[in-house]
Structure 1
């Protein structure tokens, strides 16, 4: 009870249909590591970042992932894909149980604006329960840059946060620092799986509830198998990591009202004076 066997697949994927490759990698992982309960991939692994591949959910790509989960008797978070809902698009990560049930769909709360244009923001933090294990939270890539997202998952009872990413830019080291801080601040396991190859720089990472480094991956294809003890989270939250800070208790008991979270708290000069959220223009256009 309270252990999660997880395999994060940092795959060297390209643009286009990656469904067959993903199915083969999940099956190979489960054959090699039968103790793994859950397999997860990086953000937008199915087709890459193009919104032209958007589908309704349920839809054909999700149906294929349902089949993969059922055939391998494994929980599956196949990264994410673009979900079409009427005239809106969401960046959505399905959570699929071993019997093929889609137990949750996590919509990215913070699309990577101004670059992830045309993608709507989700509104609800996503958690789900794994019988005999515990409560798991899901967030996607840019979400973790906003500490409120992981704190919200912790307050909903998440003891593990699973975080698909697709990062191909020079800020990957900053993301690893954020992931590690998120784990320590919220006293939980934080597992961030990036893509590699054409679409990402790798560097997937996993950190424990005291901010301890569990694993930091290289830049290429890697299967990251972890046995996470959720009892360690519970003890850390109760006693503090190595008997130190009991962070969530202090957050619960603290009196600070935090002005930015009060009505109108974001309509202040320090924020309104920042200007529009847009792609930086060429230098000539600035003049």
Structure 2
């Protein structure tokens, strides 16, 4: 059985583009003073990319700040995680793609100071966000604890994302968010729905007011709200027993529903015309997480 995963999710205001990394390092050190046992720290979407510009200048500011993943920002973040010996999700970053694309990319760093995984947001919030869409789902093995699926903000509105991550073996989905609009209330419902329909933990971390609408939360694999904040800055501290996912899937949500055991292997595939695809009962089962690496 995996160890319990002590995590600290930080609902905080974005840091401005161009701030020295030492300012974020100080924020990490302050957080670990709050919870020195935390092994995974999670920040909101674009936490290091507060633009502070009117909308007409926002795209220009984000384009100017973008770096490739082999650039200095990722190197500095890797070193921070290694120095503090933590798993670190510093929100997402503006990534400059190999052909000049602008991606909104969630990054995960290991306690050894390596980039353990990166995910480009597949569903930018159209028409408001300037990002190019990614094309790969990503899970990361949190070695000794379980497997995490990566998701950014508006991705949560598309159930295909959470379903794919769960099928790839995710036991917890980390959804980093920068919601400044009234639909945060709807996202709370979606977090519970995605947890219920896939029998996974959901950690949804939004930025704090006055920029964001806050209401970060942790949801269990039966859809129960385990922790939740209001709009002000705050932290969610909890040790997740990711082995609970296996129990729920074996015994059913509310002791009843076992969606991952819905099909018998010999039954005919279910056609999904909207995707030009199908569910094949012989392969309708989540992956078991591996001991290292990431799956894309």
Higher mean C-alpha deviation, range 227-236 or range 49-58 = 49-58
Q: Does 1:173 align with 2:185?
A: yes
Query: Aligned partners of 1:199, 1:126: CA distance in 2, in Å?
Result: 28
Coordinate RMSD, CA, aligned:
1.8
Match of 1:260 among 267, 270, 274: 274
The residue number in structure 1 matching 2:80 is 68
The residue number in structure 2 matching 1:110 is 123
3-state SS, counterpart of residue 124 of structure 2: coil
Deviations 1:140-199 (A, max 9, x none): 111111000000000000000011100000100001110110011100100000011343
Higher mean C-alpha deviation, range 44-53 or range 33-42 = 44-53
Deviations 1:186-233 (A, max 9, x none): 001000000113431111111111000112211111111111111111
TM-score by length of 2: 0.84
Deviations 1:109-144 (A, max 9, x none): 111111112x11111111011221111111111111
Structure 1 residue ranges, 4+ long, deviating more than 6 angstroms after superposition = 251-254
Higher mean C-alpha deviation, range 137-146 or range 60-69 = 60-69
Aligned residues: 262
The residue number in structure 2 matching 1:37 is 39
Query: Aligned partners of 1:136, 1:90: CA distance in 2, in Å?
Result: 21
Higher mean C-alpha deviation, range 246-255 or range 101-110 = 246-255
The residue number in structure 2 matching 1:81 is 93
Aligned CA distance change for structure 1 residues 100 and 44 (closer, same or farther; 3 Å): same
Question: Mind listing any 5+ residue stretches in structure 1 that lack a counterpart?
Answer: 264-287
| Residue pair 2:200, 2:220 contacting (<8 A) in 1 also | yes
Query: Aligned partners of 1:199, 1:83: CA distance in 2, in Å?
Result: 22
User: How far did residue 91 of structure 1 move?
Assistant: 0.4
Q: Does 1:8 align with 2:20?
A: no
Aligned CA distance change for structure 1 residues 183 and 29 (closer, same or farther; 3 Å): same
TM-score by length of 1: 0.86
